[in-house]
Amino acid sequence: MLLYQQVLEESEQGLSELTIPERLLRLSRDDLYWEKEALFDDCEILQKALLREICQRAEDSKYAKDHGFTRACDLDSWRVQVPVSTYTDYLPYIEAEMNGSAHQLYQADTKLYVATTGSTGKIKLFMESAAGNDAKLLVMAVRGMYMSVLLPVTRDMDAKNLTISNYLQLGDSPDGKPIMRASGQTARNLRKKTGTMNIIPTQFWEISDIPPQEREYMVAVFALAEKRLSKVFCNNLYAFGRVLDLIEQNEQQMIEDIRRGSFSVVQDPVLQRKLQDVFQANESRADALQALLDAQGHLINGTEDLLKLWPNCQMASGWLSGSVGRDAREVLRRMPVSTKCFEMGYGASEGKLNIPTKLATASGVAASMSVFYEFRPLREGADTLFLWEVEDGEAYELIITTYSGLYRYNMLDIVRIDGFTGNTPNIVFCGKSTEFVEVAGQKIYGYQFSDLLHDIEKRMNVNFDVVQVFEENGKLFPVLESLEDVDYSVVKQRIDAYMSSHWCITSEAIYVMKKSYKKHEFDKRLTKDRGVCGIKLPTVLKEKPALDDIEEIVS
């Protein structure tokens, strides 16, 4: 019998106090590796087992009592008894838990609080149980196994990682638990396994008073100083694009910083003292870079020059879907053709939601051993479907139930089914269900508009680095930026031809944005604890762009 099957049976019989994810995570690495495909053989059995466990651990919580569901809540009545929820439904329970009233969402201790910044720009906090944290770690472990097979460089302890994340802890809650950003939590968990492989030391990330622009510059210096840089990890790969920009703009200054072992952008003496031990002088590296600069005129004149800086630059991992996927494609065009790309995995503060199994694709098999899934078709009044009921190629709004106290939680994400692994659906993130425009009675989601422009890109052999849209007085206005020369009159014709045939509308005019627009949009969203790696630009704008950012208007 497979150990995985034994775990399922013991869960069914109530023979273990640990959850299925906790038990699977405690298998030896070899056992988990050889049994990982079995996790995708029958998602219906596995999903039903997860829901049973989650309900058992929820039944005496304040939330379960308030909403009338218990461990006896069977699958047939689940959708009837338990309401679909959003973040505001949990806020009073989270606040009560943080102020010392335990067991608000589950019958277990809270391990930490996970922070995320929503579309409103306000911080949201989620509770995390030990079981919920292990469910995320399990997904990361299985994801890492697929990545290590496809990219053997990940197993090379001498191949260094440039990991860019929102690592900084946001403090402690009133009940004394740490508050972490989701990407920071992930980075900390990964660092436990890859500590010696990381270019940037932990001490650097834990210094809280570094201004965001200065922190970006320092990350670029760390990267340039390490010849063995082989792997880049960051949710939004645009963060690495900005590293390349900073190197191109400050190459001589950075070489001198590497030679001295100090950061020239730091003027504050207190901050200088804090940074004193995190960056060491490297004269031999500075000499090599100076020789390269003298010979070439610039350190980076083209994509293949990156291999002169980092001869073993083999992989980049980030989000490849949604608006961030467009950011990633922009950066990957600047990297050597030999550099391979692996999706970071669809996930959020609420959970890790898919496991990529192939290179250069945003799709991944649903993490059916981590969260319980429901999918709502994009039509009014439709009932939700379970993971084993969805159809290939269809788009749905995603609803999840977790070991950390989210019950039928509407992620407000739209996902598409992209084939199957075993009998488990592959899912890919498309965009937010809150991002849409309504024109002439038509509801157009942001991801649909982005897909339309992606098709135009392929047909015209051009690349748009920003694709947005806004509605004003019942009229539709695309907002586009490209670093290339583009015939926007042809773009408008193609947009209007598609929209006319599919939605019976046309655009009013294209706002062609200056080539600095995207950078400015990221700059204004930076904070000390939130870098570019965790920022997603909206596809649907709520208002017209500023006139100073507009190059021309094509009508």
pLDDT digits (tens, 9 = 90+) for 439-478: 988 899 999 999 999 999 999 999 999 999 999 999 999 9
Buried b (16+ CB within 10 A) or exposed e, 307-333: ebbbebbbbbbbbbbbbbbbbbbbbbe
Cα–Cα dist 209/202, whole Å:
15
Return the pLDDT at 31. Answer: 93
Residues 183, 396 contacting (CB under 8 angstroms): no
For 401, the token pair is 């139930």
Which residue do the tokens 């981590």 mark? 370
Cα–Cα dist 57/71, whole Å:
8
For 150, the token pair is 């496809």
At residue 306, does pLDDT exceed 90?
yes
In sequence order, the 6+-apart residues with CB closer than 8 A to the CB of 398 are 353, 373, 374, 375, 376, 410, 411, 413, 414, 415, 427
Cα–Cα dist 477/400, whole Å:
34
Across residues 2-9, what is the average pLDDT? 87
In sequence order, the 6+-apart residues with CB closer than 8 A to the CB of 270 are 209
Return the pLDDT at 135. Answer: 95
Say whether pTM exceeds 0.85.
Answer: yes
Cα–Cα dist 327/302, whole Å:
19
Residues 104, 93 contacting (CB under 8 angstroms): yes
Cα–Cα dist 132/504, whole Å:
46
Across residues 314-327, what is the average pLDDT? 94
Sequence letter at residue 337: V
Return the pLDDT at 1. Answer: 57
- For 538, phi and psi rounded to 5 degrees? -70, 150
Return the pLDDT at 186. Answer: 59
At residue 516, does pLDDT exceed 90?
yes
Cα–Cα dist 479/497, whole Å:
17
Q: Mean pLDDT check: name the lowest of 73-77, 113-117, 364-368.
A: 73-77
Is residue 178 helix, strand or coil? strand
At residue 509, does pLDDT exceed 70?
yes
Percentage of residues in the chain having pLDDT higher than 90: 74
In sequence order, the 6+-apart residues with CB closer than 8 A to the CB of 452 are 495, 498, 499
Residues 90, 104 contacting (CB under 8 angstroms): no
Residues 373, 392 contacting (CB under 8 angstroms): no
Q: Mean pLDDT check: name the lowest of 72-81, 94-103, 341-350, 497-506.
A: 72-81
For 546, the token pair is 């500023």
Across residues 422-443, what is the average pLDDT? 94
Q: Where are the alpha helices (DSSP H) in 393-531?
A: 446-460, 488-503, 517-523
At residue 109, does pLDDT exceed 70?
yes
In sequence order, the 6+-apart residues with CB closer than 8 A to the CB of 88 are none
Which residue do the tokens 């050889």 mark? 34
Q: Mean pLDDT check: name the lowest of 267-271, 369-373, 397-401.
A: 267-271
Residue 189's closest CA among 151, 244, 150, 132? 132
At residue 226, does pLDDT exceed 90?
yes
β-pairing, 160-163 vs 340-343, is unpaired
Across residues 92-119, what is the average pLDDT? 88
Encode pLDDT of 62-71 as tens digits. 998 898 877 6
Return the pLDDT at 149. Answer: 94
Q: Mean pLDDT check: name the lowest of 190-204, 348-362, 414-428, 471-485.
A: 190-204
Encode pLDDT of 19-65 as tens digits. 999 999 999 999 999 999 999 999 999 999 999 999 989 988 999 88
Complete edge-to-edge strand list for the sheet that includes strand 466-472: 466-472, 475-481, 510-513, 550-554
Encode pLDDT of 136-193 as tens digits. 999 999 999 999 999 999 988 889 999 998 766 677 888 888 887 766 555 555 656 5
Cα–Cα dist 19/403, whole Å:
9
Return the pLDDT at 177. Answer: 86
Q: What is the mean pLDDT of the chain?
A: 91
Residues 222, 279 contacting (CB under 8 angstroms): yes
Higher per-residue confidence, 269 vs 116: 269
Return the pLDDT at 4. Answer: 85
For 239, the token pair is 């963060």
Cα–Cα dist 383/276, whole Å:
59
Cα–Cα dist 382/302, whole Å:
51
For 114, the token pair is 């996970």
For 372, the token pair is 């319980």
User: Does the CA dihedral 128-129-133-135 come out positive or negative?
Assistant: negative
DSSP codes, 476-503? EEEEEE-SS---HHHHHHHHHHHHHHHH
Q: How many CB atoms lie within 10 A of CB 118?
A: 13
Task: Give the model's confidence band at 267: pLDDT under 50 very low, under 70 low, under 90 confident, else very high.
Answer: confident
Cα–Cα dist 400/435, whole Å:
20
Measured between alpha carbons, how far is residue 421 from residues 60, 397, 418, 426, 492 in Å? 36, 21, 10, 7, 39
Return the pLDDT at 168. Answer: 63
Return the pLDDT at 412. Answer: 95
At residue 213, does pLDDT exceed 70?
yes
Which residue do the tokens 């002169």 mark? 308
Measured between alpha carbons, how far is residue 117 from residues 13, 91, 122, 238, 347 in Å? 40, 15, 6, 18, 14
Return the pLDDT at 555. Answer: 93
Residues 32, 24 contacting (CB under 8 angstroms): yes
